[in-house]
Chain A
């Protein structure tokens, strides 16, 4: 009979062996590939000493293709819970040193268990993905594993924030889990995401492309719009995750986080940021940095669809989501990708009760057959839909141009903005001066003895009459024209006033959002 001392010794031996994953050599190989060992990643990300592991002793029951009796420590995934910056989270980390982190039936079961735990307890779920994909030897059981994960990603969407971190390969079906989550983090030279990899592409289509070019971190951050944050190494990535979590709530019922910080680091000076000529560009982030707490702005998807800027900040300590046109890129027009980017962000904020600030300076939609054929109509509709559906406090500030359909789409009064402010530099009109002159005054210009002079006169006339916020203000479409120097104060008061907003949508099963 074993005495207590022996039992404890046995437990300690088993635990020590299992927590070595695939063994010392496998861990060395992982580091040689420039990747951290899965357990080290959890230790690095979570607050010290807070991690509690679940299901360490789970074993696979596969019998075919050489797996029978084969020991796979923790079945290749580490699951459990802990704290990040003092808040509870649930986490899983695939262990590449065990069977390449491949997903089998029990591996998936462990993940779905920790997902259910996160859902019930209302805490964020963080997934560290690093896997060669389905464990082929387990056949359909592996596929069922993925399916069980996807349904939970989908059903918990909007209940708790779900974060995916791609710290190795994430290919084939596996990559759909991150795609269903709220935020995807990638690391340069480490992350690889694609549905069909380079080998398959080479065989079937004959195209030659490297893993990095096809689905590396940089490709996704700048071209595909599939990811939200890019880091140069894993440590930077973990720091970004912590920063993000500080802005968002733990679940859809908990309030938005409040962290008291200081005033912006830089003085706001509109004349230094915004050019006199309304056709000249500036970086809207300079304005954001001048009005938010501590000048802290966490930009989301900063490498893609750069003609619109989205991200998190704080005003008077409380989190807000910001959507802003970027005059520096494509004159801040709306197009397919920027509509997608903004609407997804708006809906995330609405899901988690994060108030929205919209900064408007855009001349319209990007013209061209490329956009039309790509479906700018149905993509653009997403933004109108997202703002209309959102019941969080919506504050809009029109900085400069707000023309035509874009004026409506950028959270106008008509889409339910609670308060619309405008700077004296705002130009709220159906279109720009030259376009208007060419269309509205076409007859007069054509019939004039000096068409060019008449054209210039009409442009000036139009600018005087319409390139301002007062026409819209006279109709109540703009609630107040504000002194730019008072922007931060006005916004803080507006969000403070809106904090108790209570608005409900008409009852329905769920909407048919344009996708």
Chain B
């Protein structure tokens, strides 16, 4: 538990004012925002069933696949309307938390 005695050099902005300080690595500020259309596994588990095909049109709220975890069949829903551009997993595949499963491209 030694303090590191080097001078802090990070910047932190509070109400438009910038301060020199140290920003610990696990501070939320470093977390990337979720990207719409990138459907990720919120829990580790096993892909039980995939309900869509590449190229298929989907609406927001449609069930894309079933992820079995914690002894439950968890549904992964589309978070936007568009076309399934990539399916990165297969039936029965084991996935880790945060793993990218399906990408939906929205119409622009």
Contact = CB atoms under 8 A, between A and B. Distances in A.
Contact of A223 (B1, B13, B26, B97): B26
Q: Which of A206, A368, A435: most chain B Cβ within 10 A?
A: A206
5 contacts: A207-B97, A279-B18, A364-B14, A366-B27, A438-B16
Interface of B: 1, 3, 7-8, 12-24, 26-29, 31, 43-45, 69-71, 94, 97
A329 B17 contact: no
Contact of B1 (A207, A230, A371): A230
A331 B26 contact: no
Contact of B28 (A223, A368, A404): A368
Interface in A302-328: 302-303, 306, 327-328
Contacts of B13: 367
A433 B44 contact: no
B19 A279 contact: yes
B70 A204 contact: yes
A333 interface: yes
Q: Which of B21, B27, B94: most chain A Cβ within 10 A?
A: B21
Given A331-B19, A331-B21, A371-B28, A363 B14 contact: yes
A333 B12 contact: yes
B97 A435 contact: no
Contacts of A438: 16
Contacts of B43: 205
Contacts of B28: 368-371, 374
A279 B20 CA distance: 6
A280 B45 contact: no
A331 B44 contact: no
A363 to B, nearest CB: 5
Given A281-B8, A370-B29, A329 B15 contact: no
Contacts of B31: 370
B18 A328 contact: no
B44 A330 contact: no
A431 interface: yes
A185 interface: no
A51 interface: no
A59 interface: no
Given A206-B69, A330-B27, 12 more contacts: A205-B69, A279-B20, A330-B21, A330-B23, A364-B15, A365-B14, A370-B28, A404-B15, A431-B17, A434-B16, A437-B16, A438-B16
A204 B45 CA distance: 9
A435 B14 CA distance: 8
A221 B1 contact: yes
A459 B9 CA distance: 24
A221 B45 CA distance: 30
Contact of A435 (B8, B15, B27): B15
A458 to B, nearest CB: 12
Nearest to B12: A331
Contact of A432 (B8, B16, B27): B16
Contact of A281 (B20, B44, B94): B20
A439 B28 CA distance: 26
A403 interface: yes
B68 to A, nearest CB: 10
Contacts of B22: 281, 328-330
Interface string A205-225: 111000000000000010100
Contacts of A437: 16
- Which 4 residue pairs are nearest across A and B when measured between Cβ atoms? A370-B28, A432-B17, A435-B15, A331-B19
